[in-house]
Amino acid sequence: MTTRENIQELNDHLQAFPKAEDIFTKDQQWLRKHFLPLMSIDLAEINPEWAGQKVYMLSPFEPYEVYIGYNTTEYHNEYTATNWLAFKLTDDNKFEFLGKEGFFERTAIHDWDFNSEEEKEFQEMQKGYEKSKANFEKYGSLINLYSPEYDGKLNKVNYLNRLGGDIWDGNWTTTIESDEYPKAFDMKIEIGNDLPNDGISITYQGNPFYFIAETASYDWYGGGIDAIIMLYEPVSRIVLFTFDYS
C-alpha cells in the first residue's frame, strides 16, 4: 500500500473532530472520559476494498509520565498491555473496547484524585483540544496552538503525519522485543536490511495487521505523544493502538 505524508487537507474520507458519542458502542459511552477524538477515517482512502469501514484516530488522556496501562497491570487482558490497547470495529462502525475499564488509571476503580496535579494536566489537554477545535471551525485548518501565524500566514500543522504504507520501527517496538505486548496477537521483529514493514510482523489468528495512520498529539492539543499509531486487521476488524515517544 502506498503511503502519504503530512496530511493537511481533508476530504469525504478524512474528517476532523468527530463527535465522541458517535464513536463508541452504546454500552461503552464511558470511554468518552478517556479519549479525545481526533479524526474519522473511511478506510477506502487506503484500500478501496475496505470502503465503508470507518475507524477513528483517538488520543488518550493518559498517560501521565509513564506509558498508558503501566500502573494498572492487574486489569490487563489478552487485548491490552502497557502501551497497547485494542478495539473491535462493529458492523455499524462503532468502537468496542476489548479491554477492562480498570485498564485506565483515571477512574474511581483506582480512587483517582480529580483534584490532583495530574488531573490538572489532563484538563489542560482538554482546553487545548477545545481551542484547536474552535480554530478549525474558524479557519478550516488545524493550526499550531502556540504560533497560529507564521510570516503572515496560517501556521498549519498536520492532521496526520502519515497515512497508509508500511509499519515502521521505533521506540514503541521495544515492547515487542521484550515480549510485553497483548497476547491475543502474535508480534515478531526480523532483523535485516530493506525488509517490508521494517521486519515487523503483527498478526491476529494468522491474519496481518496493516498500518493505517499516525499523528502527533501536540499538533492537536499540546500533548506529549510523538506518534499515535493505529493498525487494522480487516478479517476480525480489530483496531490496535500503540504510542511512540522520542
Residue 117's H or E segment, with its range, is helix 117-139
Predicted pLDDT of residue 150? 79
pLDDT value of residue 193: 82
Rounded Cα distance between 52 and 92, Å, is 10
Residue 1 has pLDDT above 70, yes or no: no
The per-residue pLDDT for range 166-208, each reduced to its tens digit, is: 999 999 999 999 999 999 999 999 988 889 899 999 999 999 9
What is the Cα–Cα distance from 230 to 167, expressed in whole angstroms? 10
Strand ranges (E), 43-199: 54-60, 84-89, 95-97, 149-150, 153-154, 160-163, 186-189
- For residue 165, which of 45, 8, 46, 15 has the smallest C-alpha distance? 46
**Can you give the pTM of this predicted structure?**
0.95
| pLDDT at residue 48, rounded to an integer | 96
pLDDT-derived band at 151 (thresholds 50, 70, 90) equals: confident
Query: Across residues 53-64, what is the average pLDDT?
Result: 92
Residue type, 42: D
pLDDT class for 139, splitting at 50, 70, 90?
A: very high
Give me the pLDDT at residue 66, please.
82
Average pLDDT over residues 151-160: 92
Per-domain residue ranges of the chain: 4-244
Note the pLDDT of residue 192.
81
Q: Are 168 and 198 in contact (CB under 8 A)?
A: yes
